[in-house]
A = this chain, B = another copy of it.
């Protein structure tokens, strides 16, 4: 059932929603997922606990929405809209370099990095939470890669016998490995090198 709200109430709701997301992301960054509570989020956001429970059934649900919102903001900052595909300019290497460089920038951005680490860490040890975040946050991003690689296969730029779901892991797997284990710096040059090596691996067999 849809609800009609006076403009003021709707603005207040939006303000509360944003304050709750900001508080949730800040707390999980500062104290970790385990120690973040609905009470703590409410106190920091300056709203009543009941306001949070009215909109979300659990801490995990709040954080999931806060993350989806953060991802949408990051995407908008890149000039896309929240559901944008990977660009298809016809130059696969250029399109992938663009996306991987943007991912590197995100990973180097503390606003994004700290809460993402906290959630990734929790997802590693909590299979249920991990599955929810993988499904809601990670898989949609991976599907953009799948579609761009399928388009490249149709255009003759990628071996049609390669599984796009494995092909994309050659790009995102190494980035995540550096990010998670902090082995070596995440730079644009590294993003470019990955695209170069991966595309050589994916090229049509001659």
Q: Which residues of A contact B (CB under 8 A)?
A: 32, 34, 117-118, 120-125, 127, 130-131, 134, 138-139, 142, 162-163, 165-167, 169-170, 172-178, 180-184, 190, 193-194, 197-203
Contact = CB atoms under 8 A, between A and B. Distances in A.
Contact of A121 (B124, B131, B139, B169): B124
A197 B172 contact: no
Contact of A200 (B166, B181, B200): B200
Nearest to A135: B183
A2 B197 CA distance: 51
A180 B127 contact: no
Contacts of A124: 117, 120-121, 124, 180
Contacts of A202: 197, 200-201
A193 B139 CA distance: 21
B180 A176 contact: yes
A191 to B, nearest CB: 11
B123 A122 contact: no
A108 to B, nearest CB: 14
A6 B13 CA distance: 74
A184 B138 CA distance: 12
Nearest to A28: B125
Contacts of A181: 123, 130, 134, 138
Ranked 10 nearest A-B pairs via Cβ: A201-B201, A173-B173, A173-B174, A169-B174, A173-B177, A121-B121, A121-B124, A200-B201, A197-B201, A121-B125
